[in-house]
Structure 1
Amino acid sequence: MPDLSNIDDYADIAPAQFAALVKQTSDRELAQILSGPHRKTILDNIFTRMPEQFRPDRAGSTRAVIHWVIAGGADGPDTYEVRVADGKCETSLAPTVEDPDLAITIGPVEFVKVVSGNANPMMMFMTGKIKATNLPLAANVQNLFAVPKA
């Protein structure tokens, strides 16, 4: 299995394979990868795939604009937008709404660990590694997506 630092096309990696790669990579190595030239490609790919992982059966009447603020970028944090409405999920690689229903601020290592099923988001929130502006909505976000198992 390849490692995260020498993959040419992240779009070719299935979510379960990505989860396994994250699981086998140390936090130090993840931090190094996510501060280098692959950062944008990895983050863009995760957000581009979110609609595929969306679980409309669990969304119910949820209507929300969520901004994911990923700390540690070379030019400051990277912000991605996820919109959930009418049983659908859409993502934007740049925010289109100024005042989201929820803003989640998280470090890059913590983010890839959460979205790959390699970390408990509630524990990260309780230890201050995740910050959220709307706690009830934040608590439901994980239920809206099929999280891969490594």
Structure 2
Amino acid sequence: MADSVRERLAGLDFAAVSPEEFARIVKGLSTREIGEIMRGELRRRVLGEVFRRMERQFRPESAGSLNALIRWKVTGESDAVYETAVADGTCTVREGRTDAEARVTLTMGDADFLKLVSGNANPVTMFITRRLRLAGDVGLAAGLTRYFDIPKA
């Protein structure tokens, strides 16, 4: 089954998939299926598109005067690191780790990350069950969901 799901997803133009449709796709996959499909080029494409969308789904009116660097470490077949910089009412995302000090670092596996950003997981529950690890400003991490339009499946 995972091979057919992987083939179907490999053919998707993720840039053309709405956030709501992406949330429905993720909701329909088990943690095991996500783990099986998040490999190689498909993983890079999915993560790349999710992080590109963060800039578009950013809500500057909610962020106000927030100035913070948020580092995301997504573990899986390899560690993928992205940084989200929020400053002066804008959000910029870059792949890779800079030498800048992150105000908070969030670390989680592929499946948990996709469930979180698609609105299919509760970040508090993920933290309590240790599927989401935090280093740094826990208060900032707790408020991150209000700074972005998170789809609902």
Cα distance, 1:5 vs. partner?
4.5
Alignment partners' CA distance in 1, 2:22 and 2:133: 24
Q: Size of the alignment, in residue pairs?
A: 147
Cα distance, 1:36 vs. partner?
4.2
Deviations 1:103-149, CA, capped at 9 Å, x for gaps = 10011100000000000011000111111112111111111101001
TM-score (norm 2): 0.90
What is the letter of the counterpart of residue 66 of structure 1? I
TM-score (norm 1): 0.91
Paired residue for 2:128? Answer: 126
State the identity as a percent.
Answer: 39
1:43 correspondence with 2:47 = yes
What is the letter of the counterpart of residue 135 of structure 1? V
Alignment partners' CA distance in 1, 2:42 and 2:101: 29
> Measured at CA, do residues 149 and 5 of structure 1 come closer, stay the same or move farther in structure 2, by a change above 3 Å?
farther
Paired residue for 2:96? Answer: 94
Deviations 1:59-113, CA, capped at 9 Å, x for gaps = 011110011000113xx31100100011111100223344211110011100000
More helix by share: 2
Paired residue for 1:147? Answer: 150
What is the letter of the counterpart of residue 126 of structure 1? I
Structure 1: tracts of 5 or more residues without a match: none
Q: CA RMSD in A?
A: 1.6
What is the letter of the counterpart of residue 149 of structure 2? A
Alignment partners' CA distance in 1, 2:60 and 2:6: 30
For the residue of structure 2 that corresponds to 1:37, the secondary structure is: helix
Alignment check: 8 A CA contact 2:86 2:92 kept: yes
Query: Which aligned segments of 4 or more residues in structure 1 are displaced greater than 6 angstroms?
Result: none
Alignment check: 8 A CA contact 1:70 1:79 kept: yes
What is the letter of the counterpart of residue 141 of structure 1? L
Deviations 1:14-56, CA, capped at 9 Å, x for gaps = 1110000001111111111113431110000000110111111
